[in-house]
Structure 1
Amino acid sequence: MLDLTRPARLNRSQLSVPGSQRRFLDKAATSAADIVMLDLEDSVAPPDKPAARETVIAALNELDWGERTVSVRINALDTPFMYRDLIEVAERGGDRLDLIMVPKINKPADVHLLDVLLSQIEAATGRRRLGLELQIETAEGLNNVEAIAAASPRVESLHFGPGDFAASIGARTTSIGGPVPDYAILADADAAGVRHRFLGDPWHYVLARIVVACRAAGVRPVDGPYADFKDAEGLEVAARRSAAMGFDGKWAIHPSQIDALNAAFSPSEAEIDKARRILAALEEASTAGRGAVVLDGKMIDIASIRQAQGLVEKARRIGLA
């Protein structure tokens, strides 16, 4: 009987690598990214997709991927490349392949199709079970996000695709993951008559829905790319926003982004120390037979205790505790 328990994976940084470029795949195998995603979709031109598929399969079998998780993004279900991508990669990708990422998931039926096909491939070949990573990047996908997250025990994570989502809803921006200058408000005039302009976050609603759907279904929420890889400050702010909202991690489209993402989605020493003190206070209260947990003169509720337990466990998996 299949073990349907979802693996506990680190997903702070997910490096997207063009599947048509073997030299990039070679470098990715030694990167500091938690997950490396070999891409057969947007980064590969249509005439090059069959050759890229073979390049990816060869890299999966030939490279030493170490302890990092390895994923392949296939083409979307509405393309003529999807079925061959899925079958060839799943059947010939070797035992080192962990995940299949699928773009433009619109409804639970999309997930059911993928689940059935992968189950048949696994039964026929005896390969180990593959997980699914699903991209939410259309209006229809967001409208069905809760059902998509819960559609199969094979689903491990949902990923926001800001570029295609913006196109799907007709947003007037070409920015991918960055600020949208026209999405702003003017404050009332101050004493000097100046009206200050404040940027808004046009993706807050989308991100909030994705993270809630993921946490309700027990899957990882992952934010999409920040396209301007030369803007280190902008990347850090975007990553820390996502981390504050509850996301596990974010995409890197360039190796230079990995360290910043790993830092943004890792607990700080101060956070780890406080979490340990909360758990120590809980242990002390339990030993003393007290129902109330007090730290620094303040009551600690059960929600804080659960957060502390989760943070310490994450620090342990990262190697910080």
Structure 2
Amino acid sequence: MDTQTRPFRSVLYLPASNERAMDKARKLPVDAIIFDLEDAVAADEKLRARDVLDDALAAGGYGMRMRIVRINGLDSIWGKADANVVADMDCDAVLLPKVDGPEQIDALAQHTGDLPIWAMMETPLGMLNAAAIAAHPLVAGMVMGTNDLAKELNSRPRADRLPMMTGLGLCLLAAKAHGVVIVDGVYNAFKDEEGLRAECNLGRDMGFDGKTLIHPAQVDVANAAFGPSVEEIELAQRQIAAFDAAQSRGEGVAVVDGRIVENLHVATARVLLAKAAAIEAIAAE
């Protein structure tokens, strides 16, 4: 399953020190899990968390869910050891916090080899260097760290996220230009379902592939917002059928619901249907 069709609707953070949470995640309908060795783990638990996580990943049971491990920064006292351990873990990618530029990706790769790298985008310098970060051959994904970015900007929280828009847009453009996955930042009020839904819809409209989550209660909302709707699937099927029929008549375009359908619309429709099929496969596990 390639990254263009693989769903990343819901990406759940889990503390790597919490065995119970990691066990429960094996049955959650999430597309990806970020096993966190950084912010979610207290300093006196850091070393134990590595062993707990290694055991959990070795035990398996996560099915088609992408397994991403967030390490501590390489400039911390734990970061390099984290990277060395993660290189031998049964995971799909390593997530590096506070990436300012591609040189930090190079430094991590010295420890993790050819393991795909995801970059936390959460600093002003990272926003300005987003294109260079996304262009790195080992970077497979970008994660918006909106809490840290808000702190760095000294911005106020707003429902429309206006202070975030420049940074979000720069990272989106970089990710789309270089074909890497990009997921939106967390929504902190995990009991506010309507607020989460509104922010998910905004992120989906902008072009994000999914949403990072801090609580399992947020999963269903994110999956619904970032997954193809029944109406979108039906429209995609009609667009493909109409275009195929037009081509059989020697015509280059079709019309569906009063709108022109060209090659580019059909390509988008096929990706949407492939993603819907992948979602069905995950749900059937």
Structure 2 length as normaliser, TM-score?
0.92
| Contact 2:252–2:262 (8 Å) recurs in 1 | no
Q: Structure 1 pair 8/271, CA: closer, same or farther in 2 (3 Å)?
A: closer
What pairs with 1:26-175 in structure 2 (closer than 5 Å)?
26-91=23-88, 93-94=89-90, 97-119=91-113, 130-152=115-137, 154-171=138-155, 173=156
Structure 1 gaps of 5+ residues are 120-128, 181-198
Deviations 1:80-138 (A, max 9, x none): 111100101222x23xx11111110110111122233322xxxxxxxxx5321111000
Post-superposition offset of 1:297: 4.1
Q: Structure 1 pair 233/98, CA: closer, same or farther in 2 (3 Å)?
A: same
Q: Which moved more, 1:304-313 or 1:215-224?
A: 304-313
Q: Which moved more, 1:58-67 or 1:238-247?
A: 58-67
Higher helix share: 2
| Contact 2:242–2:255 (8 Å) recurs in 1 | yes
| Contact 2:5–2:275 (8 Å) recurs in 1 | no
Post-superposition offset of 1:284: 0.4
What pairs with 1:170-209 in structure 2 (closer than 5 Å)?
170-171=154-155, 173=156, 179=158, 201-209=162-170
Q: Structure 1 pair 140/286, CA: closer, same or farther in 2 (3 Å)?
A: same
Tell me the equivalent position of 2:8. Answer: 11
Q: Distance between the aligned counterparts of 1:26 and 1:71, measured in 2?
A: 15
Q: Structure 1 pair 168/272, CA: closer, same or farther in 2 (3 Å)?
A: same
Q: Distance between the aligned counterparts of 1:7 and 1:76, measured in 2?
A: 29
CA radius of gyration, larger in: 1
Provide the secondary structure at the position in 2 that maps to 1:66: coil
**RMSD in angstroms over aligned alpha carbons?**
1.8
Q: Distance between the aligned counterparts of 1:149 and 1:224, measured in 2?
A: 17
Q: Structure 1 pair 76/289, CA: closer, same or farther in 2 (3 Å)?
A: same
Tell me the equivalent position of 1:252. Answer: 213
Letter in 2 for 1:148: I
Q: Distance between the aligned counterparts of 1:56 and 1:319, measured in 2?
A: 28
| Contact 2:6–2:275 (8 Å) recurs in 1 | no
Q: Distance between the aligned counterparts of 1:6 and 1:275, measured in 2?
A: 20
Q: Distance between the aligned counterparts of 1:150 and 1:213, measured in 2?
A: 8
Q: Distance between the aligned counterparts of 2:208 and 2:189, measured in 1?
A: 20
Tell me the equivalent position of 2:21. Answer: 24
Post-superposition offset of 1:219: 0.4
Q: Distance between the aligned counterparts of 1:7 and 1:22, measured in 2?
A: 32
| Contact 1:26–1:63 (8 Å) recurs in 2 | no
Of 244, 250, 257, the residue aligned with 1:289 is 250
Q: Distance between the aligned counterparts of 1:11 and 1:200, measured in 2?
A: 22
Q: Distance between the aligned counterparts of 1:28 and 1:306, measured in 2?
A: 34
Fraction of identical pairs, as percent: 36
Q: Distance between the aligned counterparts of 1:245 and 1:203, measured in 2?
A: 12
| Contact 1:35–1:69 (8 Å) recurs in 2 | yes
Letter in 2 for 1:151: H
Letter in 2 for 1:53: R
Q: Structure 1 pair 6/319, CA: closer, same or farther in 2 (3 Å)?
A: closer
| Contact 2:72–2:82 (8 Å) recurs in 1 | yes
